[in-house]
Structure 1
Amino acid sequence: MTQVFVAQHPTEAHLVQGLLEANGIAAEVHGESLFGARGEAPVTPDTLPSVWVLDDDQASSARAVLAAYESREDTSHGVAWVCPACGEQIESQFTECWKCGADRPSGKAGE
Protein backbone atom coordinates (compact mmCIF):
# COMPACT_ATOMS: atom_id res chain seq x y z
CA MET A 1 0.00 0.00 0.00
CA THR A 2 1.32 3.46 -0.96
CA GLN A 3 0.23 6.90 0.22
CA VAL A 4 -0.41 9.13 -2.80
CA PHE A 5 -2.31 12.15 -1.44
CA VAL A 6 -2.70 14.17 1.77
CA ALA A 7 -6.04 16.01 1.85
CA GLN A 8 -7.01 19.18 3.67
CA HIS A 9 -10.24 17.58 4.95
CA PRO A 10 -12.12 14.26 4.76
CA THR A 11 -14.38 15.41 1.92
CA GLU A 12 -11.39 16.09 -0.32
CA ALA A 13 -9.88 12.72 0.61
CA HIS A 14 -13.05 10.90 -0.42
CA LEU A 15 -13.29 12.95 -3.62
CA VAL A 16 -9.75 11.88 -4.54
CA GLN A 17 -10.50 8.26 -3.60
CA GLY A 18 -13.52 8.34 -5.93
CA LEU A 19 -11.45 9.93 -8.69
CA LEU A 20 -8.86 7.18 -8.45
CA GLU A 21 -11.49 4.44 -8.33
CA ALA A 22 -13.20 5.95 -11.40
CA ASN A 23 -9.85 5.46 -13.13
CA GLY A 24 -9.64 1.81 -12.07
CA ILE A 25 -7.27 2.33 -9.13
CA ALA A 26 -8.35 0.82 -5.79
CA ALA A 27 -7.76 3.29 -2.95
CA GLU A 28 -8.56 3.83 0.73
CA VAL A 29 -8.86 6.90 2.94
CA HIS A 30 -6.85 6.77 6.17
CA GLY A 31 -6.77 9.16 9.12
CA GLU A 32 -10.12 10.86 8.66
CA SER A 33 -11.03 10.19 12.30
CA LEU A 34 -8.01 12.27 13.38
CA PHE A 35 -9.49 15.27 11.60
CA GLY A 36 -11.91 15.74 14.50
CA ALA A 37 -8.99 16.17 16.88
CA ARG A 38 -7.62 19.23 15.12
CA GLY A 39 -7.06 21.97 17.64
CA GLU A 40 -6.06 19.39 20.23
CA ALA A 41 -3.45 17.74 18.02
CA PRO A 42 -1.08 19.62 15.72
CA VAL A 43 -2.14 19.81 12.09
CA THR A 44 0.55 17.92 10.20
CA PRO A 45 0.50 15.55 7.22
CA ASP A 46 0.30 12.76 9.81
CA THR A 47 -2.97 14.08 11.27
CA LEU A 48 -4.66 15.01 7.99
CA PRO A 49 -6.71 12.48 6.01
CA SER A 50 -4.72 10.72 3.32
CA VAL A 51 -5.42 8.52 0.32
CA TRP A 52 -3.57 5.25 -0.14
CA VAL A 53 -3.39 3.07 -3.25
CA LEU A 54 -3.82 -0.62 -2.43
CA ASP A 55 -1.64 -1.93 -5.27
CA ASP A 56 1.87 -0.43 -5.14
CA ASP A 57 2.20 -1.05 -8.89
CA GLN A 58 -0.58 1.49 -9.51
CA ALA A 59 1.03 4.28 -7.47
CA SER A 60 2.60 6.00 -10.50
CA SER A 61 -0.71 5.85 -12.40
CA ALA A 62 -2.46 7.29 -9.35
CA ARG A 63 0.04 10.14 -9.15
CA ALA A 64 -0.57 10.94 -12.83
CA VAL A 65 -4.34 11.10 -12.22
CA LEU A 66 -3.74 13.31 -9.17
CA ALA A 67 -1.38 15.62 -11.08
CA ALA A 68 -4.18 16.27 -13.57
CA TYR A 69 -6.61 16.85 -10.67
CA GLU A 70 -4.29 19.27 -8.89
CA SER A 71 -3.54 21.25 -12.06
CA ARG A 72 -7.21 21.72 -12.94
CA GLU A 73 -8.22 25.25 -13.79
CA ASP A 74 -10.17 27.02 -11.07
CA THR A 75 -13.07 28.72 -12.83
CA SER A 76 -14.86 29.79 -9.67
CA HIS A 77 -13.18 33.20 -9.67
CA GLY A 78 -13.79 34.22 -13.29
CA VAL A 79 -14.98 37.60 -14.47
CA ALA A 80 -18.46 38.63 -13.39
CA TRP A 81 -20.93 39.80 -16.04
CA VAL A 82 -23.71 42.38 -16.04
CA CYS A 83 -27.23 41.36 -17.00
CA PRO A 84 -28.28 43.28 -20.13
CA ALA A 85 -31.94 43.25 -19.04
CA CYS A 86 -31.80 44.49 -15.44
CA GLY A 87 -28.19 45.58 -14.84
CA GLU A 88 -27.57 43.10 -12.01
CA GLN A 89 -23.95 41.96 -11.58
CA ILE A 90 -23.76 38.15 -11.86
CA GLU A 91 -20.91 35.83 -10.83
CA SER A 92 -19.05 34.19 -13.71
CA GLN A 93 -20.26 30.62 -13.14
CA PHE A 94 -23.90 31.52 -13.84
CA THR A 95 -25.37 31.48 -17.35
CA GLU A 96 -28.54 33.38 -16.53
CA CYS A 97 -29.47 36.26 -14.28
CA TRP A 98 -30.68 35.19 -10.85
CA LYS A 99 -32.86 38.31 -10.59
CA CYS A 100 -34.74 38.41 -13.90
CA GLY A 101 -33.84 35.12 -15.62
CA ALA A 102 -32.26 36.70 -18.70
CA ASP A 103 -29.54 34.67 -20.44
CA ARG A 104 -25.92 35.76 -20.27
CA PRO A 105 -25.00 37.56 -23.51
CA SER A 106 -22.90 35.57 -25.95
CA GLY A 107 -19.18 36.27 -25.93
CA LYS A 108 -16.77 36.17 -23.03
CA ALA A 109 -17.91 36.66 -19.46
CA GLY A 110 -17.68 40.29 -18.46
CA GLU A 111 -18.40 41.65 -21.94
Structure 2
Amino acid sequence: MKTVYHNADPVMAEFIGGMLNDAGIPAHVHQAGLYGASGEIPPNECWARIVVVHEEQATEARELVMEYLEGDPVGDATEWTCPSCGERIEPQFTQCWNCGRERR
Protein backbone atom coordinates (compact mmCIF):
# COMPACT_ATOMS: atom_id res chain seq x y z
CA MET A 1 0.00 0.00 0.00
CA LYS A 2 1.15 3.52 -0.78
CA THR A 3 -0.04 6.83 0.70
CA VAL A 4 -1.30 9.20 -2.02
CA TYR A 5 -3.06 11.94 -0.02
CA HIS A 6 -3.58 13.17 3.53
CA ASN A 7 -5.89 15.73 5.07
CA ALA A 8 -6.68 17.02 8.55
CA ASP A 9 -10.40 16.68 7.76
CA PRO A 10 -11.44 13.01 7.88
CA VAL A 11 -14.63 13.74 5.93
CA MET A 12 -12.63 15.14 3.01
CA ALA A 13 -10.29 12.16 3.21
CA GLU A 14 -13.26 9.78 3.02
CA PHE A 15 -14.62 11.69 0.02
CA ILE A 16 -11.28 11.48 -1.82
CA GLY A 17 -10.99 7.79 -0.95
CA GLY A 18 -14.47 7.18 -2.36
CA MET A 19 -13.62 9.13 -5.49
CA LEU A 20 -10.58 6.92 -6.09
CA ASN A 21 -12.60 3.75 -5.50
CA ASP A 22 -15.24 4.99 -7.96
CA ALA A 23 -12.45 5.51 -10.51
CA GLY A 24 -11.42 1.86 -10.14
CA ILE A 25 -8.44 2.48 -7.86
CA PRO A 26 -8.85 0.48 -4.64
CA ALA A 27 -8.10 2.85 -1.76
CA HIS A 28 -8.55 2.94 2.01
CA VAL A 29 -8.59 5.76 4.55
CA HIS A 30 -6.27 5.23 7.52
CA GLN A 31 -6.02 7.22 10.75
CA ALA A 32 -9.38 9.00 10.29
CA GLY A 33 -10.21 8.22 13.92
CA LEU A 34 -7.20 10.16 15.21
CA TYR A 35 -8.82 13.52 14.37
CA GLY A 36 -9.84 14.02 18.00
CA ALA A 37 -6.26 13.57 19.16
CA SER A 38 -5.05 16.68 17.35
CA GLY A 39 -3.27 18.87 19.85
CA GLU A 40 -2.16 15.83 21.81
CA ILE A 41 0.04 14.39 19.07
CA PRO A 42 1.80 16.15 16.17
CA PRO A 43 -0.69 17.24 13.45
CA ASN A 44 0.88 15.31 10.61
CA GLU A 45 0.62 12.11 12.65
CA CYS A 46 -3.13 12.41 13.25
CA TRP A 47 -4.22 13.42 9.75
CA ALA A 48 -6.28 10.94 7.76
CA ARG A 49 -4.24 9.20 5.04
CA ILE A 50 -5.51 7.69 1.81
CA VAL A 51 -3.57 4.67 0.68
CA VAL A 52 -3.94 2.78 -2.58
CA VAL A 53 -3.86 -1.01 -2.50
CA HIS A 54 -1.81 -1.39 -5.67
CA GLU A 55 1.33 0.73 -5.57
CA GLU A 56 1.50 0.87 -9.37
CA GLN A 57 -1.71 2.95 -9.29
CA ALA A 58 -0.25 5.60 -6.94
CA THR A 59 0.71 8.02 -9.71
CA GLU A 60 -2.69 7.78 -11.38
CA ALA A 61 -4.38 8.24 -8.00
CA ARG A 62 -2.34 11.36 -7.20
CA GLU A 63 -3.18 12.81 -10.61
CA LEU A 64 -6.91 12.25 -10.05
CA VAL A 65 -6.72 13.86 -6.60
CA MET A 66 -4.85 16.89 -7.95
CA GLU A 67 -7.25 17.20 -10.88
CA TYR A 68 -10.15 17.27 -8.44
CA LEU A 69 -8.51 19.69 -6.00
CA GLU A 70 -7.35 22.11 -8.68
CA GLY A 71 -10.43 21.85 -10.87
CA ASP A 72 -13.41 24.15 -11.13
CA PRO A 73 -15.87 22.86 -8.51
CA VAL A 74 -18.83 23.91 -10.63
CA GLY A 75 -17.39 22.66 -13.90
CA ASP A 76 -18.57 24.64 -16.90
CA ALA A 77 -20.15 27.71 -15.30
CA THR A 78 -22.85 28.14 -17.96
CA GLU A 79 -26.38 26.89 -18.10
CA TRP A 80 -26.93 24.05 -20.50
CA THR A 81 -29.85 22.68 -22.45
CA CYS A 82 -30.67 19.00 -22.25
CA PRO A 83 -30.34 17.51 -25.73
CA SER A 84 -33.12 15.00 -25.00
CA CYS A 85 -35.95 17.13 -23.62
CA GLY A 86 -34.80 20.74 -24.11
CA GLU A 87 -34.94 21.63 -20.42
CA ARG A 88 -32.64 24.47 -19.28
CA ILE A 89 -30.36 23.20 -16.50
CA GLU A 90 -28.27 25.20 -14.02
CA PRO A 91 -24.48 24.81 -14.44
CA GLN A 92 -23.79 22.88 -11.21
CA PHE A 93 -25.90 19.93 -12.35
CA THR A 94 -24.46 17.19 -14.53
CA GLN A 95 -27.74 15.40 -15.11
CA CYS A 96 -31.10 16.65 -16.39
CA TRP A 97 -33.60 16.79 -13.55
CA ASN A 98 -36.46 16.31 -16.00
CA CYS A 99 -35.44 13.24 -18.02
CA GLY A 100 -32.22 12.04 -16.35
CA ARG A 101 -29.88 12.42 -19.33
CA GLU A 102 -26.23 13.08 -18.44
CA ARG A 103 -24.57 16.32 -19.54
CA ARG A 104 -22.02 15.64 -22.25
Counterparts of 1:68-79 in structure 2, within 5 Å, are 68-74=67-73
Q: CA deviation at 1:74?
A: 5.0
Q: Structure 1 unaligned segments of length 5 or more: list them.
A: 76-92, 94-111
Q: Do the aligned residues in 1 keep the contact of 2:6 with 2:49 (CA within 8 Å)?
A: yes
Equivalent residue number for residue 19 of structure 1: 19
Rg comparison, structure with higher value: 1
| 1:4-48 Cα distance to aligned partner (Å, 9 max, x none) | 00112110110000110110000000111211111222212x220
Q: Do the aligned residues in 1 keep the contact of 2:10 with 2:48 (CA within 8 Å)?
A: yes
Matched, 1:7 2:7: yes
Q: CA deviation at 1:52?
A: 0.2
Mapped to 2, the partners of 1:52 and 1:23 lie a distance apart of 14
Mapped to 2, the partners of 1:36 and 1:11 lie a distance apart of 13
Q: TM-score with structure 2 length normalisation? A: 0.66
Counterparts of 1:32-71 in structure 2, within 5 Å, are 32-44=32-44, 46-71=45-70
Which letter does structure 2 place at the counterpart of 1:72? G
| 1:34-67 Cα distance to aligned partner (Å, 9 max, x none) | 11111222212x2200100000011111011111
Stretches of 4+ aligned residues off by more than 3 angstroms: none
Aligned length, in residue pairs: 75
Equivalent residue number for residue 107 of structure 1: none
Q: Which sits farther off after the overlay, 64-73 or 48-57?
A: 64-73
Report the RMSD for the aligned CA atoms in angstroms. 1.6
Which letter does structure 2 place at the counterpart of 1:61? E
In structure 1, the residue corresponding to 2:18 is in which secondary structure? helix
Which has the larger share of helix? 2
Q: Among the aligned pairs, what percent are the same residue?
A: 32
Q: TM-score with structure 1 length normalisation? A: 0.62
